[in-house]
Structure 1
Amino acid sequence: MGDSDWRPFIYGGLASIVAEFGTFPIDTTKTRLQIQGQKIDPRHVQLRYTGMVDCFVKTSQQEGVKALYCGIWPAVLRQATYGTIKFGTYYSLKQWIASRRPDGGSEEHLATNTFCAAFAGGLSSAVANPTDVLKVRMQVGDEKRGLVRCFADIYRLEGTRGLWRGVGPTSQRAAVIAAVELPVYDACKRKLVPTLGDTPLNHLTSSLLASLGSAVASTPLDVIRTRLMNQRKVKGHIAKPNERIYRGTTDCFLQTVRNEGFLALYKGFIPTWLRMGPWNIIFFLTYEQLKQLY
C-alpha cells in the first residue's frame, strides 16, 4: 500500500462496526458488572449481578432482550471513528516508518509496531470519547432517551467536559490494548504462516492469542474509565455533604481499591475477555477478507 492509501482506514472502520454488532451484548454485561458495588455512588452500591451469565439473564428478564443492545448506535458511531482512525493510523504509520529504515521494511520491528499501535489507540480513543460516554450511560440502563437527546442533555447539563469525562483512562486503556493486541496479532500471524498459511484459521488463532494479553493488561483501566464516564457532574451543582464523586483517574483507582479491594479492578474481566476474543476474531477475519477483495 502506498503512503496515501486510505484502504486501511476504510477496512478498519468497516471491520470494527461488524465486530461491534456481533459482540455488543457481552459488552453491556461487562459495563454493568464494572459499575456495581461502588461505595461512593448510591445508585450502584448494590451488587445486582453475580457474574456475566446472571447479568445477561436478569437484564433480559427484567428489561427485555432489547436492553442488551441499548447503546448500540453510539457504539457503532464510536467504531466508525475510533476503529477507522486506530487501524488506519497503525498500519499506515507502521508502513511509513518501515519504508524509511535501512532494510526497507523487509522485517517487522516489535518496538516500532508497539509504538505505532499505542499512538494510534490513544489518539483514536480520545477523538471518539463522547460516543463512549453515551454508550456507557445508555448501557447502564439509567438513560432511556435516544442518541441525539442523550448527547444534547449531557452537553446542556454537564458541558463539554461531560462529553470528555474519563478521556484520560480511556486513552490509556486504548493505548495499552492496541500496544498489546496489534503487535501480538501481527507476530503470531507471521509465525504461523509457514504452518497454517495466510488463512482464516491463522487469523482466528492469532486474534485469540492477542485478545488474552490485551484483556489482562487493560481491564483495570477499563473499570476506572467506565466509572468515571457513568458519574454525572452537573454544571453549577453544589455537592451535598454525603455526595461524593471521583476527582480523576488516581482518585477512582484509590477509592475502588480502598472500598472494594484490588480485585474490584478486574470486575467484568470474563466478559471483557470473552468479548475481546470474538470481537478480534470477527474484526481480523473481516479485515483480512476486505484486503483480499481489493
Structure 2
Amino acid sequence: MTEYALGALAACGAGFFTNPIEVVKTRLQLQGELQARGLYQRHYRNPIQAFFAIAKTDGILGLQKGLGPALVYQCTMNGIRLGSFQVILNSGLTKDKNGNQNALKCVLAGCFAGMCGAFVGSPIYMVKTHLQAQSTSSIAVGYQHHHNSSYQALREIYLKFGIRGLWRGASGAVLRTMVGSGIQLSTFTLIRDKIAGLNLWPSGSVCVPISASFVSGIMISICMTPFDVVSTRLFNQGVDSTGRGQHYTGVLDCFMKILRKEGVPGLFKGLTASYLRLGPHTALSLVFWDRLRRLYYGNNNK
C-alpha cells in the first residue's frame, strides 16, 4: 500500500503544476475536429498563443479548468500505475538471470501497470477532459458539455447512461496509457540505472532521476500523442440518447476518421504542447516519486 501512496503523492504534485498546459493541449487536439486544414477557424495557433488566449478570454483561472478531477485522476491512475510498477520491480519479475533489468520485461510491466491505472481512472479522466474543453463561445473548440462541477458531471452521466456510461471511451484511455506507461517507466528505470552506474554525480543526487525523466519525456511525447488525440476525441464527443458517440464508434474508427479527414498531422495535433506538458510532468512526477521513495526507504531505495 505504501508504494501506491507514494506514487499518488508524486503524481498529484506534478499534476498541479502542469494542468494549465494540459488545458492548452486539450484545446489544440479538439480544434478543427474532422475538418481539413484551412477549412476551420484557428483560435489556437501554438501552445504559447493558446495559453494567453485562454487567460485573456476565460480568465487566469481558465488555465486551471478541470484541476480538481485532474488531481483526483493523478492520485487514482498514477497511484495504481506507479505503485503497481514498483511492486513488480520489487518482486524481481523484470530482471534477467544475471539480476539486471530486462528492457522488454520493463516495457511489459509498465504497460500492465498503465492499463490497470487507466481503467480505474477512466470516468474521472472523461470529466476532466469535458471541463478542460469548456470555454467562452468565442474560442470554444470541440463539443461543449457545460458541466457545473465534477460531481454534477459524474452524477448526470450515471443517471442518463448508467455505469457503462462512466466508462465510455475507456478503450482509448487504456491504450493511450499502456503505450505511454510502457515507454515512460521502462525508459526511466533503464536510463536511471545506466546513469547511476556511470557515477557522473554523487550517489543519491537528484540529477540522476532528472536526467532520466527528460529523456523519457521525449520518447513518450512522440509515441503517445496519436493515442492521446484519439483518447481526447473519444472522451469529449457528444452522445445521442442511447449513449452512442456522435462521431466515433471506437478507437479504430476514430483513428481512421482522423486520418481521412485531417491526415497524419491530425494525429499529432498538440505535439509541442504534449511535450511541454509531458516533459515537465514526467520530470516532476518521476523525480517526486524517486525522492519520496528515498525519503521513506532511505538510501536503500532502488
TM-score, normalising length: structure 1: 0.89
In the alignment, structure 2 segments of 5+ residues that lack a partner are: 135-143, 297-302
Please say if residues 13 and 79 of structure 1, whose CA atoms lie closer than 8 Å, have aligned partners that are also in contact: yes
Specify the code of the residue in structure 2 equivalent to 1:14.
L
Which residue does 2:204 correspond to in 1? 198
- Out of 152, 165, 168, the position equivalent to 1:149 is 152
Overall identity of the aligned pairs, in %: 27
- Out of 213, 222, 226, the position equivalent to 2:228 is 222
What is the 5 A alignment of 1:163-174?
163-174=166-177
Q: 2:112 aligned with 1:109, yes or no?
A: no
What is the 5 A alignment of 1:53-202?
53-98=48-93, 102-103=97-98, 106-141=99-134, 142=144, 143-193=146-196, 194-196=199-201, 197-202=203-208
Please say if residues 94 and 102 of structure 2, whose CA atoms lie closer than 8 Å, have aligned partners that are also in contact: no
In the alignment, structure 1 segments of 5+ residues that lack a partner are: 1-5
Please say if residues 158 and 234 of structure 1, whose CA atoms lie closer than 8 Å, have aligned partners that are also in contact: no
Query: Post-superposition shift, 1:125?
Result: 0.2
Query: Post-superposition shift, 1:98?
Result: 3.5
TM-score, normalising length: structure 2: 0.87
Query: Post-superposition shift, 1:236?
Result: 4.0
Please say if residues 94 and 109 of structure 2, whose CA atoms lie closer than 8 Å, have aligned partners that are also in contact: no
Distance (whole Å) between structure 2 residues aligned to residue 102 and residue 289 of structure 1: 29
Taking only aligned residues, the RMSD between alpha carbons, in angstroms, comes to 2.1
Which residue does 2:141 correspond to in 1? none
Specify the code of the residue in structure 2 equivalent to 1:205.
S
Distance (whole Å) between structure 2 residues aligned to residue 249 and residue 291 of structure 1: 36
Specify the code of the residue in structure 1 equivalent to 2:215.
L
Please say if residues 88 and 94 of structure 2, whose CA atoms lie closer than 8 Å, have aligned partners that are also in contact: no
| Count of matched residue positions in the alignment of Structure 1 and Structure 2 | 280
Q: Secondary structure at the match of 1:39?
A: coil
Please say if residues 84 and 113 of structure 2, whose CA atoms lie closer than 8 Å, have aligned partners that are also in contact: yes
Query: Post-superposition shift, 1:45?
Result: 5.6
- Out of 288, 291, 296, the position equivalent to 1:289 is 291
Query: Post-superposition shift, 1:7?
Result: 2.4
Please say if residues 30 and 268 of structure 1, whose CA atoms lie closer than 8 Å, have aligned partners that are also in contact: yes
Distance (whole Å) between structure 1 residues aligned to residue 244 and residue 200 of structure 2: 64
Please say if residues 119 and 170 of structure 2, whose CA atoms lie closer than 8 Å, have aligned partners that are also in contact: yes
Which residue does 1:3 correspond to in 2? none
Specify the code of the residue in structure 1 equivalent to 2:105.
T
Please say if residues 82 and 128 of structure 1, whose CA atoms lie closer than 8 Å, have aligned partners that are also in contact: yes
What is the 5 A alignment of 1:204-243?
204-236=210-242
